[in-house]
Amino acid sequence: MLYTLYEAQRSLMEPFAELAQVTSKMFSNPQTPFSQSTLAHRMAAGYDLLYRLGKDYEKPQFGIATVNVDGVEVAIHERVEVDKPFCELRRFKRFSDDPPTLLTLKEQPVVLIVAPLSGHYATLLRDTVKTMLSGHKVYITDWKNARLVPMSEGEFHLDDYVNYVQEFLRHLQGRYGNCHVMSVCQPTVPVLAAISLMASRGETTPLTMTMMGGPIDGRRSPTAVNNLATQHSIEWFKNNVIYRVPEKFPGSGRMVYPGFMQHTGFVAMNPDRHAKSHYDYFKDLVRGDDASAEAHRKFYDEYNAVLDMDADYYLETIETVFQKFSLVNGTWDVRSPDGEIERVRPQDIKTTALLTVEGELDDISGSGQTEAAQDICSGIPREDRSHYEVTGAGHYGIFSGRRWRELVYPRVRDFILAHQPSRAALAEESNARAKRQAA
């Protein structure tokens, strides 16, 4: 019922938001008599702010047209390579007509970025993707809004998430022979589970796994996110935050954790900061500071765009990751697509190097939560394990912004290159793979 009421309210507010936008343009357009008022700038700014507070925010685009590779601008073509009911494996294909640059692109490592399925779209990692594209072939998991997935596609569980990651890794390994994986925040747990299961079966695992700001062990330095999960039972979550998708959407009838509730939670963590940001935006518009105003728009176009999560996946994540701590306790069993129950054993990983990254000021995944992977991945040789704490960085700072580009990315890049096979080894593996396919 709450979801239906929310949608009714949003539909009711939409024309008023559009009217506020039109009114703002009337006061800011020098061709109209409204712009001649002494309060025109303030009126235009005020109505623009009302519009942005009341508008509906749709899924943003990555919008990466070019990247710089060794001083050469390289064109980017974005395409979906694998389309699953709840996720797309998206590739950022790089093109250049410069022969030396083409050779460089061909030899660079392949990286799968596993984006969070925790309320925002994968475009939240736009800066991560763009920076990585300067030195890597990049793929990303682009999770779908559950309210747009028809009921005919079935349910989506945490086990399905783990199985998706394994399928994507096998896809890249089959294409390139090997790959690297990077997980940001929420996916650190299912990604570690996926690689653990592959290792236990004797499958080829990624060359490296980089885990950034994730709740591997939420018992360490618990944050408000951890406390919310531990202070309420699963029944409480079922009764208070799970709702049925209204009829107007393709996923009508699906039980979900709505994106608008997650967004409310995000804002509630720092309400003063958001209020100040909106007031600063108003002042920037009045002063005519277009650069600052545009920066605000870009941030909130991303921040306010949220998606629904399938209820099964959400509840199982709360219970498995934040209540039972099944990964670090060694009690997590995952059901494969064939229905087989398999125990997650991180200690079985032996040939995948590990880099964990944390932000000193992270208020979502507290200090030590990601580093816990170092302890449970005991089968990885000590020289292939590394940890980096980013001084002065909050949660978003480790994968977006100046600290990401200047401090974290060089560490990640060098870590991947240190475990990337030589050109000769890659050629040998490519020939062997071609022979196997021919046979």
3-state per-residue secondary structure call for 171-227: HHHHHHCCCEEEEECCCHHHHHHHHHHHHHHCCCCCCEEEEECCCCCCCCCCCHHHH
Cα distances (angstroms) measured from residue 355 to each of 182, 248, 352, 398: 9, 44, 10, 13
Res. 260 pLDDT band, cuts 50 70 90: confident
d(CA 402, CA 396): 11
Confidence check: pLDDT of 439 > 60: no
Report the mean per-residue pLDDT for the chain. 92
The candidate with the shortest Cα–Cα distance to 53, out of 296, 286, 396, 309, is: 296
Q: Supply the pLDDT for residue 57.
A: 85
Percentage of residues in the chain having pLDDT higher than 70: 96
Place of tokens 């001649």: 36
d(CA 398, CA 179): 22
Whether residue 108 contacts residue 137, with contact meaning beta carbons closer than 8 Å, is answered with: yes
Topology classification of domain 66-237+309-438: Rossmann fold (3.40.50)
The candidate with the shortest Cα–Cα distance to 49, out of 92, 86, 20, is: 20
Confidence check: pLDDT of 329 > 70: yes
Mean pLDDT comparison of 5-14, 50-59, 63-72, 275-284, highest-scoring range: 63-72
Mean pLDDT over 226-233 rounds to 91
The candidate with the shortest Cα–Cα distance to 50, out of 76, 31, 26, 22, is: 22
Mean pLDDT over 195-202 rounds to 97
Among 19-28, 182-191, 196-205, 322-331, which stretch is predicted with the lowest mean pLDDT? 19-28
Mean pLDDT over 45-63 rounds to 89
Q: Supply the pLDDT for residue 130.
A: 97
Confidence check: pLDDT of 158 > 60: yes
Domain ranges of the chain: 2-56+259-303, 66-237+309-438
Token digits for 26?
């009337």
CA angle 60, 66, 172 (to 5 degrees): 80
Confidence check: pLDDT of 55 > 60: yes
Among 143-157, 266-280, 281-295, which stretch is predicted with the lowest mean pLDDT? 266-280
Q: Supply the pLDDT for residue 54.
A: 85
Whether residue 315 contacts residue 212, with contact meaning beta carbons closer than 8 Å, is answered with: no
Place of tokens 């292939």: 384
Confidence check: pLDDT of 266 > 90: no
Mean pLDDT over 417-439 rounds to 66
Kind plus residue range of the DSSP H or E element containing 92: strand 87-95
Mean pLDDT over 354-367 rounds to 95
pTM comes to 0.91
Task: Please tell me which residue, 379 or 281, carries the higher pLDDT value.
Answer: 379
Whether residue 121 contacts residue 305, with contact meaning beta carbons closer than 8 Å, is answered with: yes
DSSP 41: H
Q: Supply the pLDDT for residue 423.
A: 60
